[in-house]
Structure 1
Amino acid sequence: MTMDEFIKEIMKLINQSTKSINIRISGHGASGKSTFTNRLIGKLEDETYNLLETDPYIIDSGIRKLAYAEYVFNGQKYKEKITGCMPLAHELNSLKRDILALKNGMDIITIDEPWAPSVKLNGNRKINIFEGLSLFFLDKALFDISIVFKCDDETEILRRLDRDVNIRGGNPEYIKSTQALRRRQYEHFMMPLEAEFDYVIDTSNNAFIMEKSI
């Protein structure tokens, strides 16, 4: 299945729904979730959907660097910085509150960030699309459709170097030095939760492989 074919499948589910529909699109960093989301909303009329991007619900790194988390992975104990691959890195209660507000027909004002100015989302729209890493750690029951993206280690680091260095101005040596930590935390905290998603899509090597579908 290609991405375009999958989008057609999701559009069919949207069009068949007689009520509002809530779509969760998540995945680890550089897995392809934003690319897919942009392609999907390109098929929708502006007045029919809300898009809530969840990066503003990630706790600022200036705060996270003051704490460390301990966990055991593959029999070894780690004490490490808290990355976005851990649920501790996210304002999950605030995110759940805003999702429930939209689902119940209430307008919300999104969090204002330098890269994402605050906007008003209309609670009366038929389609609510929620996109971002934070969504990984919320209950599946909040959503009608849950989609998760993933890729292998090599693909992730190549994408992160391209995006975070060329677009976000990041330090390539820092990105390389933290990659092993991120993948370890992804495998420990996130990978087991992929079973809770309706669709699991592997985008390694720029492929589009459906590993699970409802």
Structure 2
Amino acid sequence: MKSNKSAMIIGISGGSGSGKTSIARDIYEHLKNQSVAIMPQDAFYNDQKEMTMVERKAVNYDHPNAFDMDLLYQDLLKLKQNKAVDLPIYDYEHYTRSDKSLPMQPARVIIVEGVLLFVDERIRQLLDIKIFVDTDDDIRFIRRLKRDMAERGRSTESVINQYLKTVKPMYHQFVEPTKRYADVIIPEGKSNRIGINLLINQIKAVLSK
């Protein structure tokens, strides 16, 4: 659905397991009648088909260089201009981009969420509202452990090793410092109903103007 108005892009960032995806889905449910779509930054991990499986597993996936920021920026720019894009699909089991893509139509509101979303200045400038979900390290680790084992085929040992080696140090080096760019900070993620409801009401107010 094309519109003369540029799309509103809401960016949600925070550490792995902070509750970004839950909050994105919550906002989505409350804005269904506004024409809304969700885009995960995780879809934009680099295509690594030319690498061996050993090389793929050795990649630091919590570093900004693990993402195709150029493609993410270009797709967000197209969506803001009410143009459709082909969203990449990342294959977690094979540590590379899938051969398939997902057609994504323009919408009045685009919700994009990701750990390193605020690192790139070009992307920050496209975001109309920037939300940082601030959740304790221990809670985030427990959530990540459950998710990666249930949804991404990871073993307990591999999740723990990755968390200690890259996830936690990269969070404090790259993710947490981007909190200063946020327009809104939501402590404790999805359990903070008051903060989320205030945020949703504010978004509705902006959209109604």
TM range (shorter): 0.7 to 0.9
Q: Structure 2 length normalisation: TM-score?
A: 0.73
SS of the equivalent of 2:18 reads: coil
Superposition pairs for residues 32-47 of structure 1, below 5 Å? 32-45=19-32
- Look up the equivalent residue of 2:140 and give its one-letter code: E
Q: Deviations over 1:95-123 (max 9, x none)?
A: 00000011112111211445896332223
The percent of aligned pairs where both chains have the same amino acid is 24
Equivalent of residue 102 in structure 2, options 102, 108, 119 = 119
**Comparing both chains, which one has the higher relative contact order based on Cα–Cα distances under 8 Å and sequence gaps of 6 or more?**
2
Q: Does the CA contact (< 8 Å) of 1:85 and 1:190 recur in 2?
A: no
Equivalent of residue 95 in structure 1, options 55, 61, 72 = 72
Q: Does the CA contact (< 8 Å) of 1:149 and 1:200 recur in 2?
A: yes
Moved more, 97-106 or 151-160: 151-160
Structure 2 equivalent of residue 7 of structure 1: none
Q: Does the CA contact (< 8 Å) of 2:38 and 2:112 recur in 1?
A: yes
1:201 matches 2:186: yes
CA distance in 1, matches of 2:60, 2:118: 14
SS of the equivalent of 1:136 reads: coil
Change (3 A) 1:113 1:86: closer
RMSD across aligned positions (CA): 3.1
* Displacement after TM superposition at 1:165 (Å): 1.4
Equivalent of residue 136 in structure 2, options 152, 156, 165 = 152
Q: Does the CA contact (< 8 Å) of 1:150 and 1:202 recur in 2?
A: yes
Change (3 A) 1:155 1:65: farther
1:171 matches 2:148: no
1:110 matches 2:87: yes
* Displacement after TM superposition at 1:51 (Å): 1.9
- Look up the equivalent residue of 1:175 and give its one-letter code: V
Q: Does the CA contact (< 8 Å) of 1:65 and 1:82 recur in 2?
A: no
1:133 matches 2:115: yes
> Which structure is higher in helix share?
2
Equivalent of residue 183 in structure 1, options 168, 190, 199 = 168
* Displacement after TM superposition at 1:19 (Å): 5.8
CA distance in 2, matches of 1:56, 1:43: 24
Aligned length, in residue pairs: 180
- Look up the equivalent residue of 1:104 and give its one-letter code: Q
CA distance in 2, matches of 1:114, 1:156: 22
CA distance in 1, matches of 2:48, 2:141: 20
Structure 2 equivalent of residue 14 of structure 1: none
Gaps spanning 5+ residues in structure 2: where? 93-97, 203-209
CA distance in 1, matches of 2:69, 2:128: 19
* Displacement after TM superposition at 1:166 (Å): 2.7
